Structure 1
Amino acid sequence: MDKLIKSISSSGSFRAYVLDSTETVRTAQEKHQTLSSSTVALGRTLIANQILAANQKGDSKITVKVIGDSSFGHIISVADTKGHVKGYIQNTGVDIKKTATGEVLVGPFMGNGHFVTIIDYGTGNPYTSTTPLISGEIGEDFAYYLTESEQTPSAVGLNVLLDQDDKVKVAGGFMLQVLPGATEEEIARYEKRIQEMPAISTLLESDDHINALLSAIYGDEDYKVLSEEEIGFACDCSRQRFEAALITLGNAELKAMAEEDHGAEITCQFCGETYTFTEQDLEALIND
């Protein structure tokens, strides 16, 4: 199971979340059979949503949509406050790397678009916020959303590193936020440290990347770990849920499926699980 650690500076002026999301992104890659660029883009979106969900209370559900007009299409993720996240990318087959270094490319192929969040508090009135994509690298777009929409100055780093076979090697990231009461001197000190910190990819390659991230964020300043929470990829789809969806189609359409197609197959977009309904299953739904 992956983990997310919440921490706060001893002064109470800054808080930081650091994540190991390796299994989360590895599971997503396996379920969707994504190629390199699609794996990294989807992985970054899942990590961003894990951070966003950890910032909510109660039984909220958070949907993140990264909507670009280029190669990837839309990336959709849904997370909850219990540490579960699921997601998919429309185009699973984007596989573009720099020739000289082999670096997986994401930003240039996202295109123009928006970073959309929908927070459902369970009250029937979800809150939606939209900010423009500023780079397509997703981490920068997420930081811009936090600063502009939630009015909380934030630094974000998130990435997915692949091995020589383009399988997920390690994934994770961090979020650092300025809290009310921070002095200009403190802010300048943290800004300098963030600007000078190693690349997120370098930190993730450390033997203990969770501690490497915390050390890079806080330097020699004291901080307190507030909690350590389990996070992971989990889909809440079920046969019963898709049965309910089929029933909404009405008897005429169900009868046509039974007579013309002799059944139905439904695949969950979020996890790739396929549910098969035979002709007899459809007839039973009609009779019920």
Structure 2
Amino acid sequence: MSKEDFIHKDRLIKGISTDGNIKISVVKTTDVIKAARQKHELSLLNTILLGRALTATMLMASELKGEERIQLRAEGKGPVGLLVAEANRVGEIRGYVQHPEVELDYNDSQTSLSDGLGVGVLTVRKTLYNEAEPKTSSIELISGDITGDIAYYMVQSEQIPSAILLDVGLDEQGQITEAGGLFIQRMPDAPEGLIERLQTEMKQFDSISTLLSEGNYIDDIMEKAMGDIPVKELDRQPVDFFCRCTRKRFVNALAMLGPNDLKEISDEGQELVCHFCNEQYQITKREIEDLLQETKARMN
């Protein structure tokens, strides 16, 4: 990796206005989305939808602590079916779609991005420290384009006035140019109308992919989004498409099966696939037989 590439690699930056009224997070997820597309062989439709969802989860995870994590599940009656994206505070992002190959008929003038998911539900699940159970809330998909759905979720479920931009840029050959997003939130004591003003200004904002393609980095985008409001950096961190699945974890999961279930699959080896990263793990017949014997021994 060259020095230039390292300087402009995928990262997230957090900032706050000097008066403490507005918080902002900006993330570059270009390589994250390219990795997701390659791992899952995503169609153009799913590259955009999953790309936006992965970007959104990282922006929302920036408000968490340590290894707390957040998961988005968008499930609709459209051809995409189920979409899942997950991120934690340390910058690990992963996700998948149920039908990665599906595409829309773009020759139909009535076709829109929202047709991919269609009518459905968005569920946000947060795994937090000091919470025995994950916190979960759901809303109806109101736009199906992920961006509008996340904005609606923030108002309805979090009740935080906010503005969000999510963008995956594609060139004429369908290749990813740049990807990223920004997330602005009003703090509790901020004056009325401030976030609305920023929301209006953001409607005139260039797309995140365009800004990145023009050489702007996350710092520049943060300052442009805040306009004449002075902002100071709070934190920055790298982000990556990263899954913690391992072969050992899959073997341990098989070990949780009962003897009857293990006996059913003991005649041959098993190929297990991680939904999140599409990594394949071969579990041999001998390993399954050993697990079966260990399970029987524990029960005697």
Q: So what's the TM-score if we normalise by structure 2?
A: 0.87
**Residue 185 of structure 2: aligned partner:** 177
Structure-to-structure mapping, 1:47-58, within 5 angstroms: 47-58=55-66
Aligned to 1:116: 123
After superposing the two structures, state which structure 1 stretch, 86-95 or 191-200, moved more: 191-200
Name structure 2 gaps, 5 residues minimum. 1-8, 295-300
Instruction: Note the C-alpha offset of 1:20.
Output: 0.3
Distance 1:192 1:172 in 2: 20
Mapped to 1, the partners of 2:105 and 2:231 lie a distance apart of 38
User: d(CA) in 1 for partners of 2:43 and 2:57?
Assistant: 21
Name the structure 1 match of 2:278: 272
SS of 1:26's partner is: helix
**How much identity, in percent, do the aligned residues show?**
33
> Which letter does structure 1 place at the counterpart of 2:83?
I
What's the counterpart of residue 34 of structure 1? 42
Structure 1 alignment gaps of length 5 or more: none
Q: Partner letter of residue 238 of structure 1?
A: T
Question: Could you tell me how far apart the structure 2 residues matched to 1:160 and 1:276 are?
Answer: 34
Q: Provide the C-alpha distance between the structure 2 equivalents of 1:203 and 1:99, rounded to a whole number of angstroms.
A: 29
Query: Cα–Cα, structure 1 residues 150 and 223, in superposed 2: closer, same or farther, change >3 Å?
Result: same
CA–CA distance in 2 between the matches of 1:128 and 1:264?
33
Give the corresponding residue for 2:175: 167
**Where do 1:220-259 residues align within 5 Å?**
220-259=228-267
How big is the shift at 1:265? Answer: 0.8
| Cα distance between partner residues in 1 of 2:100 and 2:292 | 36
Give the aligned length: 284
Shift in alpha-carbon separation, 1:105–1:234, aligned structure 2, 3 A: farther
Q: CA deviation at 1:11?
A: 1.9
Describe how 1:62-81 pairs up with structure 2 within 5 A.
Answer: 62-81=70-89
Partner of 2:143: 135
Tell me how far 1:110 sits from its aligned partner.
Answer: 1.6
Q: Deviations over 1:231-275 (max 9, x none)?
A: 11110111111112212222222222222xx11110111111111
Question: In 2 relative to 1, CA 210–247 (structure 1 residues): closer, same or farther, beyond 3 Å?
Answer: same
Matched residue, 1:210? 218
Whether the 8 Å CA contact 1:37–1:105 is kept in 2: the answer is no
Asked whether the 8 Å contact 1:266–1:275 carries over to 2, the reply is yes
Give the one of 260, 274, 291 matched to 1:285: 291
- Distance in 2, matches of 1:264 and 1:189, equals 57
**Alpha-carbon distance in structure 1 between the residues aligned to 2:143 and 2:183:** 18
Taking a change above 3 Å as real, the CA distance of residues 100 and 20 of structure 1, as seen in their structure-2 partners, is farther
**2:281 maps to amino acid:** Y
Alpha-carbon distance in structure 2 between the residues aligned to 1:199 and 1:79: 23
